[in-house]
Chains A and B, each alone.
Chain A
Amino acid sequence: MNLLLQGLALGVLTGGLYALLASGLSLYFGVMRVVMVAHPAFLFLAAYLTYTVHTTLGLDPFLALPLTVPLFFALGVAVQRLLIARLAPENMAMMSVLLTFGIALTIEGLLGTFYTGSYKSVSMEYATRSLTIGGVHLPYDKIIAFWVAAITLLVLFAVLIKSRFGQSLRATIQHREAARLVGIQTERVAGYGFGVGLATAAVGGTVLALITPFFPASHWVWIGKLMAIIVVGGLGSVVGAALAAVLLGVVEGLVLVTVDATWATIMFYVFLFLTLLARPQGFFGGRLAHRF
């Protein structure tokens, strides 16, 4: 029983992080109908940058954020405006996957060349202990990861719902042509949407660096996991992705403590296939996701 509670608690904490990592993917899909396979590669790029800032300057990993977040925002705008906007619209879905796949390979190769293929990790003294509540051990690094993810997501939702930029972004997601008719510059908004998505990758990468060791090819595992999350949640739905992330995080946590790590990861793919068989548009995606 205690074991299950442990799995459940860890699952919720990890699920919160998954929600942050998957939110960027939902944004890209929303604004451009693009499945950004390179998102996890950018996560690990951010993790490695955090590692460099931490080891060379001796700073706390979170102090890398003022550097990486604006950098990644600019990178996101550049990727959208210079690469993705150039693709022919009739074959967008397939070609954008291949394009971002190429970007992912490029990043992995560069990371492997500069940082070598061995494991790196950022460990902080405060992150190694754990909190014990009623027999359930909660590592501090997971708690920190959860709260950073939760705060970032709250800020993201606030921006999407309250700000004028958020409104035009949501309008662009819902109906591009209509958005242009009411005077929204949809190209520019789509570019910023990509920037925001990649900025979440900067935050997520720093958190990942803190909780897990990483090497250049780590991003492949995350592609599968994050893709499963956004498909189960419904492509393009940020809220759906967040709920699916917590659900799959809990399932993973429970399988992890009862069976083993291999099956815990396989559960993501099981849910992916079940969703496609039962409800290909996902559980929260509406009309938007149906044809993808």
Chain B
Amino acid sequence: MRIASRGLPPLVAGLAIAYPFLVPNYYLVYAGALTVMYAAMATSWNLLGGFTGYVSLGHSAFFGLGAYGTGLLVTRMDVPWVVALLVSALLVTVFAVGVGIAAVRVRGASFVIVSIALVSMMNLIVQGWRSLTGGSTGLQVPSPFPDLHRGETHMVFFYLFLALLALALASWWYVSRSRFGAGLRAIREDEDKAESLGVPTGAYKVTAFALSALFVALAGGLYALWFGSLDPIFVFSILIASSMVLMSLLGGVRHLFGPLLGALIVAPAGEYFLIALGETQIHLTATGLVLVLVVLFMPDGILARFSRRRAGPSIPDETAEQRLQGVAP
């Protein structure tokens, strides 16, 4: 069991790298790139949601801003695409620090409300600011690789998203072993106690918020370069954020590979629904029902079922009696 779980990540990584050469057609490369993009976004969402327990339904705001930032820099200012991607992600991160300072002042349900409000507001502003963003007709972004045909472009972006996923996973892993990560977990367990023990909760929460926005913004920028056309109603939809939440919850928010596992299930299922049922709205119902079922029956995710550690608070609540038994000779 232990050897199997050690050997699994390199095996999966190897399979992922070989994936575009294993599949028979470019459509599956496209679907793979989309899945890896969602996996990267869910993993970066989990930098905030998994560690601190702050559920954000507003991360599509950072996705959309990253996408529009990159697109506008490329089209309006003729910046090379790599520079545009990095500059726009940096700007979004700075913006996220500002939003974070206001947003993490409130906890629980109010935080979720604020995050929903953030997306709706960005959607309104981008649609309303017609002269800059093209309004609801959208924004066209030229392809960064004009010499490649469509299928090859899918392949390039598959590897770009894979690199982003690796970066997000490495960050999560690094944070989970750091003092910073321990502080974030303390916030999840009991924010007041953490604060009274000297954890700088405000600064930690804002940092986690901005860090998780950074990777989502990078994914958004790559998406803009990949798809070449941005629809404000899609990129700023709560649906994207809710996919990140659903994937993370389904896989398990307390595990490094939880969001990745969730993405590997949810994203292909979504693509399959699209092919099998066409462009109907019933896929929304499917997403909604799965979310309800996961929240009701599996809030700790799939991986929690397989790990031996019992779900629940990582600092178990003991009764005085249990504690006495522990110290009794």
B238 interface residue per 8 A CB criterion: yes
Nearest CB of A to B231, in Å: 13
Chain B interface bracket (under 10, 10 to 19, 20 to 34, 35 or more): 35 or more
Chain A interface bracket (under 10, 10 to 19, 20 to 34, 35 or more): 35 or more
Q: Which one of B3-11, B83-91, B109-117, B204-212 is at the A interface? A: B109-117
B292 interface residue per 8 A CB criterion: yes
Asked if B291 contacts A101 (CB within 8 A), the reply is yes
Asked if A93 contacts B108 (CB within 8 A), the reply is yes
Asked if A106 contacts B289 (CB within 8 A), the reply is yes
Query: Chain B interface secondary structure, helix, strand, loop or mixed?
Result: helix
Contacts of B295 in A (CB 8 A): 87, 95, 98-99, 102
Nearest CB of A to B77, in Å: 25
Contacts of B53 in A (CB 8 A): 91, 94
Contacts of A117 in B (CB 8 A): 281
A86 interface residue per 8 A CB criterion: yes
Asked if A110 contacts B245 (CB within 8 A), the reply is no
B127 interface residue per 8 A CB criterion: yes
A108 interface residue per 8 A CB criterion: yes
Asked if A103 contacts B102 (CB within 8 A), the reply is no
Q: Which residues of A from 124 to 158 have beta carbons under 8 Å from B?
A: none
Contacts of A276 in B (CB 8 A): 102-103, 105-106, 110, 114
Contacts of A109 in B (CB 8 A): 281-288
Contacts of A262 in B (CB 8 A): 124-125, 127-128
- Most B CB within 10 A of own CB, among A105, A262, A291: A105
Q: Can you identify 12 A-B contacts, CB atoms within 8 angstroms?
A: A93-B112, A98-B295, A105-B242, A107-B288, A108-B285, A113-B282, A221-B120, A224-B117, A224-B120, A227-B113, A227-B116, A262-B125
Q: Which residues of A contact B (CB under 8 A)?
A: 29, 33-35, 37, 83, 86-88, 90-91, 93-99, 101-113, 117, 216, 220-221, 223-224, 227-228, 231, 235, 260, 262-263, 265-266, 268-269, 272-273, 276-277, 280, 291-292
